[in-house]
């Protein structure tokens, strides 16, 4: 009977002390502090009878309002445009030195009405896309071979390091003599310009992959192309996207050189016409078009980073 009555007595549940409460107990000389529910309330528990305790600081980066971030990004270009417009309006910037925003806008409308603007933009973007695709493919393949195997590094790396130091504009006459002045020359020139940054960054990214991760993947049976595509390249993705950003920027420079030879379409051809007829408005318009093209390339890489590396926003060190 005593045993059954003893078992019928209600038992008080044992309190569950979290790791954070344990730290507070240790800091308060063994006396347990009030219960803590979650990290948010834990940051607010600072008992008055224990002045030695301090509220932990939040070390993460707070999210800034999107409107404020957009305003800060646009502020510097807007101020530059305002200074350009005011300087041209009040005569501080002569038209022979720099065309006014009004003249550039009129040149834009003129090209848009004739349909040449869209035709030139489409020609330049297609050449840049084909050239970058070719250069990125070759550079990525050679970087993976050189980074994964010692024999590949010995065979590929010395030659490419020497060629990488040669400015690609210096080989324009050779490319013209080898491939002519048609579309093949333009695409190959942009491809050669973008292959070396992709090789350098892919080689660096592959070499920086954790060896333990590769060994663990091999332990699960991944070999060859499966190991490269499923483990090595995803681990080197930050370097590869940075290389792609640089390749797209270099392709704009390659367009200027390639489209001034043997073509009647493209933004580079428009630059050549502006230089021949000394059209300041066309020259400035071409600069604006190249800047907008580079902005769209950068936005494309940012969207690609957000889609392929969603954890990147929470792991970077920024204020």
Residues 206 and 228: their CA atoms lie apart, in Å, by 9
* CATH 1.10.3720.10-classified regions of the chain: 99-310
Which position has the token pair 């305003």? 71
Give the DSSP letter string of 126-137.
Answer: HHHHHHHHHHHH
On whether the CB atoms of residues 148 and 228 are closer than 8 A, the answer is yes
pLDDT at position 133, please?
93
CA angle at 206 for the pair 201 and 210, rounded to the nearest 5°: 135
pLDDT at 317: 53
Question: Per-residue DSSP letters for 220-272?
Answer: TT--HHHHIIIIIHHHTHHHHHHHHHHHHHHHHHHHHHHTTSS-SSSHHHHHH
62 near 51, Cβ under 8 Å?
A: no
Residue located via tokens 């060859």: 224
The candidate with the shortest Cα–Cα distance to 271, out of 284, 288, 259, 283, is 283
List CB contacts of 206: < 8 A, sequence separation 6 or more.
143, 144, 146, 147, 148, 232, 236
> Tokens 């501080």 belong to which residue?
92
Please report, in tens digits, the pLDDT of each residue of the chain (319 residues total): 444 444 444 455 454 444 445 544 444 444 444 444 444 444 444 455 556 677 777 665 567 777 888 888 888 989 999 999 999 888 888 888 888 899 999 999 998 898 888 899 999 999 999 999 999 999 999 998 888 888 888 899 899 988 888 888 888 889 989 988 888 889 999 999 999 999 999 999 888 888 888 888 888 887 778 888 888 888 888 889 999 999 998 888 888 888 888 888 888 888 888 888 888 889 999 999 988 888 888 888 888 888 887 776 655 555 5
209 three-class SS: coil
Phi, psi angles (nearest 5°) of residue 63: -80, 125
Instruction: Residue 238: count other Cβ atoms within 10 Å of its Cβ.
Output: 15
Structure letter (DSSP) for residue 47: -
Q: Check residue 138 and give its pLDDT.
A: 94
* Whole-number Cα distances in Å, 115 to 112, 252, 291: 5, 22, 21
Q: How far apart are CA 30 and CA 33, in angstroms?
A: 9
Q: List all residues 6 or more positions away from 59 whose beta carbon is below 8 Å from its beta carbon.
A: none
Query: If DSSP codes are grouped into helix, strand and coil, which group holds residue 90?
Result: coil
Residue 117, C-beta contacts closer than 8 angstroms, at least 6 positions apart:
108, 111
Nearest to 240 by CA among 278, 286, 194: 194
Distances (CA, A) of 129 to 240, 292, 309: 17, 16, 23
Task: Return the pLDDT at 190.
Answer: 92
Q: What top-level class would CATH report for the domain 99-310?
A: mainly alpha
Instruction: Give pLDDT, residue 6.
Output: 47
Q: For the whole model, what pTM was predicted? A: 0.71
């Amino acid at each position: 009977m005593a045993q059954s009555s003893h078992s019928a007595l209600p038992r008080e549940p044992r309190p569950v002390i979290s790791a954070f409460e344990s730290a507070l107990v240790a800091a308060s000389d063994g006396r347990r502090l009030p219960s803590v529910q979650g990290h948010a309330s834990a940051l607010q528990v600072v008992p008055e009878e224990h002045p030695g305790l301090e509220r932990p600081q939040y070390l993460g980066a707070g999210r800034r309002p999107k409107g404020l971030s957009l305003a800060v990004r646009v502020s510097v270009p807007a101020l530059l445009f305002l200074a350009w417009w005011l300087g041209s309006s009040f005569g501080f910037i002569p038209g022979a030195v720099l065309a006014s925003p009004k003249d550039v806008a009129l040149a834009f409308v003129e090209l848009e009405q004739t349909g040449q603007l869209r035709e030139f933009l489409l020609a330049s973007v297609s050449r840049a896309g084909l050239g970058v695709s070719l250069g990125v493919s070759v550079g990525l393949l050679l970087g993976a071979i050189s980074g994964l195997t010692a024999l590949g590094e010995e065979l590929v790396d010395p030659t490419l390091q020497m060629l990488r130091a040669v400015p690609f504009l210096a080989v324009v006459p050779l490319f013209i003599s080898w491939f002519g002045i048609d579309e093949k020359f333009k695409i190959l020139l942009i491809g050669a310009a973008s292959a070396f940054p992709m090789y350098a960054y892919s080689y660096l990214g592959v070499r920086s992959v954790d060896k333990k991760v590769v060994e663990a993947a091999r332990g699960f049976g991944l070999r060859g192309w499966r190991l490269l595509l499923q483990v090595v390249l995803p681990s080197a993705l930050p370097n590869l996207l940075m290389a792609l950003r640089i390749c797209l920027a270099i392709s704009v420079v390659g367009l200027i050189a390639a489209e001034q030879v043997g073509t009647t379409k493209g933004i580079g051809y428009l630059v050549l016409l502006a230089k021949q007829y000394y059209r300041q408005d066309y020259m400035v318009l071409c600069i604006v078009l190249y800047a907008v093209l580079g902005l769209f390339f950068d936005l494309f890489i940012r969207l690609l980073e957000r889609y392929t590396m969603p954890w990147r926003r929470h792991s970077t060190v920024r204020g």
